[in-house]
Chain A
């Protein structure tokens, strides 16, 4: 009987050890692997290395994830001793989890994609590794590293970026109805009036909802067109108020008249908006470059930027490396790869993204993105306004714009709220 009990006890202990290894030990798995290195002298030597598992968290799923995994596969090919495990988490959810985990000296992953403002915030608190040793600022589009640089330290590795270049339309739709892309503001307004009269079209422009950014992207495009990059930067820094006459004018004279004329739809769920726009219920949709990977035929896509646009928002994805990672060397290696060669691979997929690393050429792009990449390269780049300010204000901004969209008469109230809620220095 005693023997039986001892065996049972041993079994329980063994199971506990095994299960604890299964649950928490993925990053600690150290399996010997054989790697073959070919050198110039064609000497082939075999060395035994430790298999490292790096955990990566990002927001992508579906087709976007497929595109990202191409980059990861390339990294794994280049580093046979490193295996990457990817998990999808929305940034909104991570914002709840990460501060607490970091405070307790832990991290759910070794490399994490997150908002720029959040990375700066965590960097300030000392939770992240400085990436200055793997990121050369001279190799990137100017200003791209600003949101993730704190006191000279770079806390975020820039990956590819989405641009918010303007209103997308179907070339076939324009051809069918004899429409032409406008060259002036007046022509743009005339175009909207013409579209509104087409039978079956609900409103000329469809407005995306259920997430906040589709409306804020539209507003930023108006600010960059009629106020320029400088105004956008001053708004981000809080140096210009939202009630400032210059800003008010853009709303009063440009955007609000379009809203009052009913040229924009009421906000509807942004992905179903794509389907409705594609089947002709709406003619134009303001969206980022990722839309190229979300439609049936990207070659049928045309782009209308507001005439006279001076700058466009380039919104990169950033990766951070928490200092609590168990594999800092390998995590930094992956961050470097994502910020450099990884970009070259990513723009060649159907990601609909643009490179922030200057060593990527137009030839590296996926065919439907080549034209967009050219258009974007001809104007100044500007940081995303609400992503740069971030925090509570970002949600207030989205929320107030939703209000403005359905009740444009409340412009004064909206601008006042945006000023009142802007983070105090």
Chain B
């Protein structure tokens, strides 16, 4: 049925798929997703009590990453990891780790990690905010009952807090996954996908095909791939929300 009359197979991409970008997105998800989810949860628990000194200010600083434009976020990441100007290489220099006292975005072995680590700051505010709202909705009675039953703090978290935060976790995980798949702006500004394609991601690859190579066929292929990949977490989210 698939004859050339129906589908123009001659114009089908013959080059190898953008494996590099796909792998980088996978690495991004593997590091960024669990880190932001657990960091956001930890910070929300830690800062939930008003008596924690400066909790509002700390929350504001963390949430700042969420409210600044992504392009600005990319620029900040660029400078954070630049030798001489940025805090990260300086810290490693003070710790005596000379191999990391470099401009992270300039080296292929560190460029991807620079943008991933930077994006953790940008996105943690989201999960912290979601978990803060979730924690506020858990009735105090549950904790008082657990305390009367002799539960430890860990047991209270394990059997009260975590199960009741499950709907929030589903949303946070799905949204983070979608964000990780469509990541573009900060990579575009901070590294441009380089050096040597070391930090290339799918959305940027799509843009390169579209705007640099003016190869709309290839750009469309990557766009379809991205759409298929995003449908998976989106479907999961819808199903999970239905069962919760």
Chain A interface (Cβ < 8 Å from any Cβ of B):
92, 95-96, 99, 121, 202, 209-210, 212, 266-269, 272, 276, 391-392, 394-395, 398-400, 402-403, 405-407, 410, 413-414, 417
Contacts and interface: CB of A to CB of B under 8 A. Distances in A.
A400 to B, nearest CB: 6
Contacts of B78: 210, 269
B195 A402 contact: yes
Given A267-B106, A272-B85, A99 B214 contact: yes
A399 B209 contact: no
B195 A96 contact: no
A131 B65 CA distance: 49
Nearest to B210: A96
Given A391-B212, A394-B212, A417-B196, 4 more contacts: A92-B211, A209-B106, A400-B196, A403-B195
Interface of B: 78-79, 82-85, 102-103, 106-108, 192-198, 207-215
A202 B82 CA distance: 14
A interface: dominant SS = helix
A221 B236 CA distance: 55
What secondary structure prevails in chain B residues at the interface with A?
loop
Of A121, A391, A405, most buried by chain B (CB within 10 Å of CB) is A391
B192 A399 contact: yes
Contact of A402 (B79, B84, B196, B214): B196
B211 A95 contact: yes
Contact of A403 (B84, B108, B209, B210): B108
A402 B196 CA distance: 7
24 contacts: A95-B211, A96-B211, A99-B214, A202-B84, A266-B102, A266-B103, A268-B84, A268-B103, A268-B106, A269-B78, A272-B85, A391-B214, A392-B208, A392-B212, A394-B212, A398-B192, A399-B194, A399-B197, A402-B194, A402-B195, A403-B108, A406-B106, A407-B107, A413-B196
Given A99-B214, A391-B213, A392-B209, A399 B196 contact: yes
A318 to B, nearest CB: 18
Contact of A266 (B106, B207, B208, B214): B106
Contacts of A209: 106
A395 B194 CA distance: 10
Contact of B107 (A202, A398, A406, A417): A406
Contacts of B84: 202, 268, 276
B196 to A, nearest CB: 3
B69 to A, nearest CB: 16
Contact of B106 (A202, A391, A392, A402): A402
Nearest to A93: B211
Contacts of A394: 212
A410 B193 CA distance: 18
A121 B82 CA distance: 38
A142 B215 CA distance: 32
B218 to A, nearest CB: 9
A395 B209 CA distance: 11
A99 B212 CA distance: 12
Contacts of B193: 399
B144 to A, nearest CB: 56
B185 to A, nearest CB: 13
Given A99-B214, A391-B213, A392-B213, A267 B192 contact: no
B196 A395 contact: no
A266 B83 contact: yes
A390 to B, nearest CB: 9
3 closest residue pairs by CB, A with B: A403-B196, A392-B213, A402-B195
